[in-house]
Amino acid sequence: MTHLLSVNGISKAFGGNQVLKSVTFDLQKGEILGLLGPNGSGKSTLLNAISGFTAVDSGTVTVGDKRIDKMPPHKIISAGIARTFQLPAMPAKMTVMEVVMTAGTRHHGLWDGLLSLPSGRQAEKEDHQKASGLLETLLLTKVRDLPAAALSGGQKKLLGIACALMGDPAILMLDEPMAGVHPNLRQELAETLKTLSRTGISLIIIEHDMHFIKSLCERCIVLDRGHIVASCHPDELSKNQDVVDAYLGRGSRALKEAV
Ligand X SMILES: Nc1ncnc2c1ncn2[C@@H]1O[C@H](COP(=O)(O)OP(=O)(O)O)[C@@H](O)[C@H]1O
- Applying CB under 6 A, does 197 fall inside the site for ligand X? no
| Part of the chain binding ligand X (CB under 6 A), chosen from 39-47, 55-63, 88-96, 109-117 | 39-47
| Part of the chain binding ligand X (CB under 6 A), chosen from 32-40, 184-192, 194-202, 231-239 | 32-40
Task: Give the interface size with ligand X as a residue count (CB under 6 A).
Answer: 11
- Applying CB under 6 A, does 34 fall inside the site for ligand X? no
- Pick left, alpha or beta for residue 167 (phi over 0 → left; psi -120 to 50 → alpha; otherwise beta): alpha
CB 141, min distance to ligand X, A: 31
Q: 184 touches which of ligand X, Mg ion, none (CB within 5 to 8 A by kind)?
A: none
- Applying CB under 6 A, does 43 fall inside the site for ligand X? yes
CB 40, min distance to Mg ion, A: 8
Alpha carbon 181 to its chain centroid, in Å, reads: 15
Return the closest-CA partner of residue 244 out of 23, 37, 106.
37
- Applying CB under 6 A, does 16 fall inside the site for ligand X? no
Q: How far apart are CA 34 and CA 38, in angstroms?
A: 13
Distances (CA, A) of 233 to 12, 145, 204, 214, 216: 27, 41, 14, 9, 11
Non-local (6+) Cβ contacts of 22 within 8 A are 9, 10, 11, 59, 227
- Applying CB under 6 A, does 42 fall inside the site for ligand X? yes
Buried b (16+ CB within 10 A) or exposed e, 125-150: eebeebbeebbebbbbeebbeebbee
* Closest to Mg ion by CB, 36 or 61: 36
CB 17, min distance to ligand X, A: 6
CB 224, min distance to ligand X, A: 10
CB 233, min distance to ligand X, A: 21
Q: Please give the residue ranges that form the binding site for ligand X (CB under 6 A).
A: 14, 17, 19, 37, 39-45
